[in-house]
């Protein structure tokens, strides 16, 4: 029995997506001695420096190293993936303007390197947690993966929208660079959220990495599950970001080739 056109099209899209991911991965590290290890060096070096500096301030927190590694690697994923997503269509302009394929594949494939790096660090975080505090409960690991999925949906939605907006406003990547640098200190990456007065917490949670970092720390370190309302708000935020990104992308993607 022949496969339906819809199934064939989806299979073709997945094959094309995999081809983009594989090609990006190879070209990014082609000719380098360290290869993919360079993607791990930056966040690991930052972790060592920040740990050396801030452990003096938070030396009373016996879990500070684990808190820092969770916050740093999650924020690094957010920063790297959104930066890549913004310029994804422009970077593949030679293909978008000449070949016929769904342009969203170029955007989604640009996130692959950050996703692979995050996957490696998820393993590292799990091993580090097991070595320092024992194995995490299964429900904690399941919730942690749920938070990562919501984070990925937020990043994907942002990247879809930003990729087409960037073709109209080329300063967007420079503006976002400044926002991410400031956002590193808005999110509780190097400091515990408790040192900030509670009346300001709502503003900090408006920045997407804050909720994912805090919830991940809660289930992996304190083994405390956030409220159902907190999970619902995170899911709504993720789905809203994805839906908005898809809507903006569909609105402007048809004219993307004209602006490349």
Q: Does residue 183 fall inside a structural domain?
A: yes
Domain count across the chain: 1
78: closest CA among 231, 183, 217, 201? 183
Q: Does residue 58 fall inside a structural domain?
A: yes
CA angle centred on 211, ends 208 and 217, rounded to 5°: 135
Tokens 């907006």 label which residue? Answer: 165
pLDDT band at 162 (very low <50, low <70, confident <90, very high): very high
Start-to-end CA distance of the chain, whole Å, equals 42
Q: Does residue 5 fall inside a structural domain?
A: no
Residue 32 has pLDDT above 50, yes or no: yes
Q: Does residue 128 fall inside a structural domain?
A: yes
Q: Does residue 215 fall inside a structural domain?
A: yes
Q: Does residue 69 fall inside a structural domain?
A: yes
Q: Does residue 174 fall inside a structural domain?
A: yes
Domain that holds residue 93: 32-259
CA–CA separation, 251 vs 260, rounded Å? 16
- Burial readout 148-157 (b: 16 or more C-beta within 10 A, e: otherwise): bebbbbbbbb
Q: Does residue 244 fall inside a structural domain?
A: yes
- Cβ neighbours, 10 Å, residue 115: 16
pTM: 0.83
For range 217-242, the mean pLDDT? 94
For range 160-172, the mean pLDDT? 93
């Amino acid at each position: 029995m022949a496969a339906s056109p819809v199934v064939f099209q989806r299979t073709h899209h997945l094959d094309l997506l995999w081809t983009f991911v594989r090609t990006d991965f190879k070209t990014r590290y082609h000719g380098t001695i360290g290869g993919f290890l360079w993607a791990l060096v930056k966040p690991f070096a930052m972790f060592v420096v920040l740990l050396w500096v801030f452990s003096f301030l938070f030396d009373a927190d016996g879990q500070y190293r684990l808190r820092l590694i969770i916050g740093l690697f999650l924020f690094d994923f957010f920063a790297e993936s959104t930066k890549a997503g913004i310029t994804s269509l422009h970077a593949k302009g030679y293909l978008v303007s000449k070949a016929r394929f769904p342009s969203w594949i170029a955007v989604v494939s640009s996130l692959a390197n950050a996703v692979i790096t995050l996957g490696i660090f998820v393993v590292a975080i799990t091993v580090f947690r097991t070595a320092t505090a024992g194995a995490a409960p299964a429900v904690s690991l399941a919730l942690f993966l749920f938070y990562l999925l919501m984070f990925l949906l937020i990043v994907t939605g942002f990247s879809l929208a930003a990729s087409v907006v960037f073709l109209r406003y080329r300063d967007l990547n420079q503006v976002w660079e400044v926002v991410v640098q400031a956002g590193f200190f808005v999110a509780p990456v190097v400091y515990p959220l408790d040192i900030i007065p509670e009346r300001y917490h709502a503003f900090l949670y408006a920045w997407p990495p804050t909720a994912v970092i805090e919830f991940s720390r809660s289930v992996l370190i304190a083994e405390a599950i956030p409220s159902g309302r907190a999970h619902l708000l995170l899911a709504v935020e993720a789905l809203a970001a994805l839906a908005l990104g898809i809507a903006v992308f569909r609105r402007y993607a048809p004219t993307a080739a004209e602006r490349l």
